[in-house]
Structure 1
């Protein structure tokens, strides 16, 4: 009987021990779960040393910096066209002519009258007046004949022929040619002439820059040009003109800027879409942080530093602002851990690994059971 009672007592004590140990384990597990739930993951980036480049860019189409729309100086019927689109011509080459039979007759008559006036002399006022009248008529007849031909004013490539033999010259403009400027404007009545000529060795691009970007540009700055249809092909250029008057579209204020090519790859053609990029600032071997980690409010620029698990808002002085990184002149040292704004959560850049910050109740050294959880 005594043995049975003792055995029952041992069994009961053992069961109680198991229950106590199980309860303790459960409590400890719940404590660990609560601490894990209290953890807050903070994404950081690391301030590092490197280079920063700031650039502004715009798009546009390749055009010639020397282009003209040529028109006859008089109206008439086209008798001969000597060129076609794509032809290369030299300065002074004959491009087209009108039927000049009538003006040649007028020239012959004017010359005869002029020769007669010269022979009569200018001894009296009447003779002198006759001489001046005949001379002026002869000069006018010469100009009329000259207006029936088109000649190349410079070496270039024919880009368009807007007429045909037997057709009309399309009207005349004084001087026999209409000059098309880089902006597409023309000194004649129309921006297109009977024949269009361009120097394909002198190219440019006119891009529109925002009012904030144009303030960082100045004439003489170097530019890099890339082409949508020519991957890997790059041209170099120079800012040659910044328009003083803005062109506003959809309430966006932009300024046309002309970039003249200084090196033109052979593959580049007129009209191709291109992007021009101008470097407006550069800093070497400086402390940098991702541009997205910087905030500006109330005129003050700052970052959030993480030191000993504590986040501190710190004012900084910035230098060159690049698209990806920004130079920090003061307020941040190389190696500092910076917490980007909430909009950057989920992205870790700049070489900084994600760090953890624990709330109250966590165990020293990063949480978990002392001794590695054993």
Structure 2
């Protein structure tokens, strides 16, 4: 009985010893992994990121100049068209007849103007009659006094009649010139009006065809062949008008500026990065779930061919950057100090920092390129 008790006591003491060892070993902190890096030289940049959707910066609603029966519809939503492509047509019978009639009116008015110009030129070329004065008869001067007086009176009457005839002729010529001038002006006005009518008719005829003013993508089409159509048949977005409309917080938008470089990522191909820039920043924010956000438009430097309006996208805008500067990983800097390893010993050094980027931090003084620093485990 005594032997059993002693054996049991030894077992308990052994278990307690093992437990003590386990507990003691569990309380010991695990060693912290230490990693180092070299002070490098290169660019440092800071970015802000946001999500958004692809949309057209501007759309064009295209229609006909008048109403008519839709005779041709060559596009559907989603089609990509080139500049000048014919998108749709309406019946142009009436419009063509109006152009033909206006063309005939112009031709008739031009003929009338030519005749008016000829008549005016002829009136200007008609010579003006010169008044003549009756010369005294020498034999009459040797005649008696009574005969002389009678001849003088007749000569005066002839002279007055001649002057009156000349004046009448000059007045008639002036009247004729004025009349031909008025006719010329009237003919010119008639031609001007005829040409204006032709221009308007031609514009209306051209308006029976819708062509793409720019290359782009068809967003919407209304109507079908045989239906009545007028304004607003095709909605077109220019190929180069695609932008990302992204939402930024108040803190993020404060760093945004128009023209800043951006990187755009599409969810269907996250591996491809598209370059762009900040095109516009809304001055007023919108409140969503107690958080104010500001919209910004990010344009593509080159719009992808497979881009879909309405699809989601993410953007990263470079808000600050410096090139060719000393830099260290951002995790190496703590309250303005960096731990430098010199000959196997760690030394804490004060540094002057510049731009704190997304990955690295600019070092203005306190370190040299190639210095070994601790980035973790400090």
With the shorter chain as reference, the TM-score category is 0.5 to 0.7
Residues in 2 aligned to 1:267 and 1:142: alpha-carbon distance in whole angstroms: 39
TM-score for both structures, normalised by structure 1: 0.56
Q: CA RMSD in A?
A: 4.5
Taking the TM superposition and a 5 Å limit, the aligned residue runs for 1:26-175 are 49=39, 53-63=45-55, 68-121=60-113, 124=182, 125-169=185-229, 171-172=230-231
d(CA) in 1 for partners of 2:200 and 2:306? 47
Structure 1 residues 1-374: aligned runs within 5 Å: 49=39, 53-63=45-55, 68-121=60-113, 124=182, 125-169=185-229, 171-172=230-231, 193-200=232-239, 203-210=242-249, 212-214=251-253, 216-218=255-257, 221-235=260-274, 237-239=275-277, 241-243=279-281, 245-250=282-287, 252=292, 254=294, 256-262=296-302, 264=304, 267-279=306-318, 280-281=320-321, 285-290=326-331, 318-323=353-358, 326-327=361-362, 329=364, 350-352=375-377
2:145: which partner in 1?
none
Measure the CA separation in 2 of the matches of 1:219 and 1:108.
53
How far apart are residue 221 of structure 1 and its match? 4.2
Gaps of 5+ in 2: 1-19, 117-180, 340-348
TM-score for both structures, normalised by structure 2: 0.56
The structure whose RCO (Cα within 8 Å, separation 6+) is larger is 2
Deviations 1:175-200 (A, max 9, x none): xxxxxxxxxxxxxxxxxx42233454
Q: Matched residues in 2 for 1:166 and 1:83: separation?
A: 15
Could you say which structure has the higher helix fraction? 2
- Where 2:228 maps in the other structure, the secondary structure is coil
Q: How many residues in Structure 1 have an aligned counterpart in Structure 2? A: 274
Change (3 A) 1:247 1:325: same
* 1:321/1:269 CA distance change after superposition, 3 Å: same
| Mapped partners of 1:219, 1:246: distance in 2 | 12
Larger radius of gyration: 2
Q: Contact 2:338/2:351 (CA < 8 Å) preserved in 1?
A: no
Secondary structure at 1:77's aligned position in 2? Answer: strand
Query: Taking structure 1 as reference, are residues 55 and 161 closer, same or farther at Cα in structure 2, changes over 3 Å only?
Result: same
